Amino acid sequence: MNNYETVFILNPVLSDTQVEETVKKFEDFLINKGAKMVAKENWGLKKLAYPIQKKKSGFYHLFEFTAEGDVLLPFELEFRRDERVMRFLTVKLDKHAVSWAERRRTKLKAKA
C-alpha cells in the first residue's frame, strides 16, 4: 500500500449539495477499490492563479489515502470524465511527506 494525496478543483457554479455529492462520489470510488482514507479536507472556494475554463475561482478539496498503485488509473479516469472537475493532481507521498502531512493535520486540529 502506497500513500497518496489528491487535490482537485471543482467548478465554482456548483451548489453546496452538488459539491458534496461530487466529493462523496470520489471518496466512495476509492473506498470501493480498497483504498483507506487517511484525511479529507475541504479548503473551500478559492481564487485561481489563472483562469481555467473561463472561471476565476473553484472549490478546492484534498484527499489523503493509502491504496495499491493500480487504483490510480481508474481514479484519475473518473476525474477526467466528470465535467464538474476543473483540475486534479495526485502525488505519491514518501515517508517524509507522510510525517509532514501528519504534523500539518495535528496543527489544524489544535487551531480548531
Per-residue pLDDT of the chain (112 residues; tens, 9 = 90+): 899 999 999 999 999 999 999 999 999 999 999 999 999 999 999 999 999 999 999 999 999 999 998 999 999 999 999 999 999 999 999 989 988 888 888 887 787 6
Q: Taking a C-beta distance cutoff of 8 angstroms, is the pair 7, 64 a contact? A: no
> Which CATH number belongs to the domain containing residue 81 in this structure?
3.30.70.60
User: What is the per-residue pLDDT for 112?
Assistant: 67
Q: Rounded CA gap, 59 and 51, in Å?
A: 14
Range of the domain at 42: 2-111
Quote the pTM value.
0.89
Looking at the structure of the chain, the number of domains it has is 1
